[in-house]
Amino acid sequence: MLRFILTRLGLVIPTFLGITFLTFLLIRLVPGDPIEVRVGERGIAPERLAELRREMGLDQPLWQQFLDYVGNVLSGDLGTSLVTRNSVLSEFATLFPATLELAFCAMLFSVLIGLPAGVLAAVKRGSWFDHGVMGLSLTGYSMPIFWWGLLLILFFSVQLGLTPVSGRLDLLYYIEPVTGFMLIDTLLVGETDAFWSALRHLILPTIVLGTIPLAVVARMTRSAMLEVLSEDYIRTARAKGLPQRRVIGLHALRNALIPVVTVIGLQVGTLLGGAILTETIFSWPGVGKWLIESINRRDYPALQGGVLLIATAVIAVNLIVDLLYGVFNPRIRHAR
Amino acid sequence: MALLDIRNLSVAFTTRAGTFRAVDGIDLSVEEGEVLGIVGESGSGKSVTSLALMGLLPPGSRVTADRLNFAGTDLLSLSPAQRRRVVGKDIAMVFQEPMSSLNPCFTVGFQLGETLKVHEGLSGRALRRRCIELLEQVGIPDPESRLSAFPHQLSGGMSQRVMIAIAVACNPRLLIADEPTTALDVTIQRQILDLLVGLQRDRGMGLILITHDMGVVAETAQRAVVMYAGQVAETRPVEALFTRPRHPYTGALLDALPERALGKRRLPTIPGVVPGIMDRPEGCVFNPRCRFAAARCRSERPALFEVDEGLARCFYPLPDVPLPDGILPGGLHTRGMGQASGEGLGEGAAR
């Protein structure tokens, strides 16, 4: 078990190096550096420009900049934002809970709906329900996130006025962050009104972000269930005279969950990636929106650090999923 | 009254290409405490018959019967919930593949206890005690620690013992064993068979033993049904069936037993294969492979005719002559109606 974790951690090193290198290079391929972007059309004296560049270390050759950066990261320093002058790590830490809350709700949404829908579709294979679920999930999977988000805003917020258009909380409230999760913090200070406000703000972003994982979970559950339902042990369960819901909900689902859990784990990456678009659409004050702003301002350290930290989160979640795998699959548990 | 009484059972599968009969008008009966052997090649409808009886056929299959009585109850008239109260309790089944028949995600104790919980409402310590007792009865060493074992930690033989323990947990009146030893090592086959017969004798339950091994039937069953292409070819007491087979198919199956072909250069076989459910021949279903087939066999479907002590589905049954062991039943006589009397089964296979 320990060996397994160590091997997995060993594999993380090249992943990190690759990510660092790519973000470092790609953001510098975008025309304009942080200073030019800030100065805009006003222009700046060449001497001042050179001075600022030297200050930010941008006058060094690229390879030197890269080595410096990697060296700093290895000693635990992700640098400071060129725009806000705050440490990248602390900026990330304040914004990440918002992203996490949204991603968690989206995951919950996709699993709570996708899992039962997939199971039912498999049990009622070939029925209208099955075709409906599969058709909808294909549509959901193919839907561009930004378009889907705008569509929902138009209908629910603009036409019906049911949900807020953007943000995490009505401006009426101010909640001191404790956990960073708005739903929890509002309840901690006993502000039920603020809680409902936070919840209403979450609805549309959750649906938008959860649509693709929902489609994936539903399809995966259905196909895993179909495979499991034709197994001999399901026939055995039926031959024991067990009630249908026990055969499906316990004997079949338990086995079908094994591949589904893996897929859910992989979706975490999609969620954090999708958060970038969703947060931008809904002005959600999370890491995704921050990354987009960092790109626009050519805030190199913020972008590089943010991508690296998100990658860390995705890798960590995948490792946890791999470890959880043993909980769901006794064969793996004993093999290790 | 027979424990199990089936009249004219048919099972049809509907696919996109049409409707096909896998089982075609079968009569079957098992007395209380009787061992009935069902033999036949793959595709003869043995398993489908038992799955129909258990109500385990997949959707898309249609089961019809004039009578499907178990202990006086018509199984076809029961609702699915009512039927589940019979299945697993009074009728139980052991399958061919023990390794894949146990759920890999649950322990032996859970899977065994579940049956007792659902049908007999046992729980807690009483349940655990009963589980240990059952594992002991099926010859599993150290049953207490086996309760927490997962199926992948068991060998094939052990898995089948667990399957048998699950099947007999609620003291069924009828146990169906569908090729229970086919997937096991030869040395284990014997043990599992002895276990089944022992349990049957001790509990006085009816046992349907489905197999393609004639030797197994000869040793364990009192009566045997020979199935071919979804029909009953011959049904008679084992003693009579083995010494004086009346259906040419039974005769050919017996000829194919290695112990009956001592001294021959080649083991006799039956040429061809069982026709699939989509291409059943006209007339007698066995006629393309029967060395005695006549014109009538190719055009008309034979009914089950009474022969001594049983029934055989053949216009021209083999003569009622006891055969000394080791002699081909077909080699004892020649028939005017046969295709070519000189063409034996062995030569057919040699071609």
Q: What is the ipTM of this complex?
A: 0.84
Say if residues B249 and B286 touch (Cβ distance below 8 Å). yes
Among B103, B168, B112, smallest CA distance to A233 is for B103
Q: How confident is the model at residue B329 (pLDDT cuts 50, 70, 90)?
A: very low
Measured between CA atoms, the residue of chain A closest to residue B93 is A239
Best residue in B79, B94, B103, B176 for a mutation probing chain A (most A CBs within 10 Å): B103
CA distance A130 to chain B (A): 16
- A334 and B92 within 8 Å at the Cβ level: the answer is no
Between CA A104 and CA A123 the distance in angstroms is 28
Among A28-37, A43-52, A322-331, B228-237, name the most confident range: B228-237
Q: Between A317 and B205, whose confidence is greater?
A: B205
Could you tell me if A325 lies within 8 Å of chain B, comparing CB atoms? no
- B103 and A240 within 8 Å at the Cβ level: the answer is no
Burial (Cβ within 10 Å: 0-12, 13-18, ≥19) of residue A275:
buried
Percentage of chain B beyond pLDDT 70 is 91
CB pairs under 8 A between A and B: 76
**Mean of pLDDT values over A137-147:** 91
Across chain B, the runs of DSSP E, i.e. the strands, are: 4-15, 18-30, 35-39, 61-64, 67-70, 73-74, 91-94, 174-178, 206-211, 223-228, 231-237, 305-307, 310-312
Measured between CA atoms, the residue of chain B closest to residue A247 is B103
Between CA B216 and CA A107 the distance in angstroms is 56
For residue range A245-297, list pLDDT tens digits in order.
999 999 999 999 989 988 888 888 888 888 888 999 999 999 999 999 999 88
A104 alpha-carbon distance from chain centroid: 8
- Chain A residues within 8 A of B85 when measuring between CB atoms: 241
Q: Which of A74-78, A283-287, B323-327 has the lowest mean pLDDT?
A: B323-327
Could you tell me if A242 lies within 8 Å of chain B, comparing CB atoms? yes
**Mean of pLDDT values over A146-155:** 92
Between CA B267 and CA B350 the distance in angstroms is 9
Percentage of chain B beyond pLDDT 90 is 55
- Chain B residues within 8 A of A236 when measuring between CB atoms: 95, 101-103, 163, 166
Say if residues B208 and B38 touch (Cβ distance below 8 Å). yes
A336 alpha-carbon distance from chain centroid: 30
Between CA B99 and CA B108 the distance in angstroms is 12
Between CA B121 and CA B202 the distance in angstroms is 24
- A236 and B56 within 8 Å at the Cβ level: the answer is no
- B114 and A254 within 8 Å at the Cβ level: the answer is no
Structure-token pair, residue B45:
């409808």
Handedness of CA B68, B74, B79, B81 (dihedral sign): negative
Q: Between B307 and A110, whose confidence is greater?
A: A110
Residue type, B113: G
Among B235, B211, B207, B210, smallest CA distance to B223 is for B235
Q: How confident is the model at residue A52 (pLDDT cuts 50, 70, 90)?
A: confident
Closest CB from B84, B93, B101 relative to A243: B84
Look at residue B343 and tell me whether its pLDDT is greater than 70: no
Burial (Cβ within 10 Å: 0-12, 13-18, ≥19) of residue B276:
exposed
| Structural Rg of chain B based on CA atoms | 21
Q: How confident is the model at residue B348 (pLDDT cuts 50, 70, 90)?
A: very low
Closest CB from B87, B97, B105 relative to A239: B87
Distances (CA, A) of A271 to A204, A210, A212, A213, A254: 15, 8, 9, 8, 25
**Mean of pLDDT values over B277-300:** 88
Percentage of chain A beyond pLDDT 70 is 99
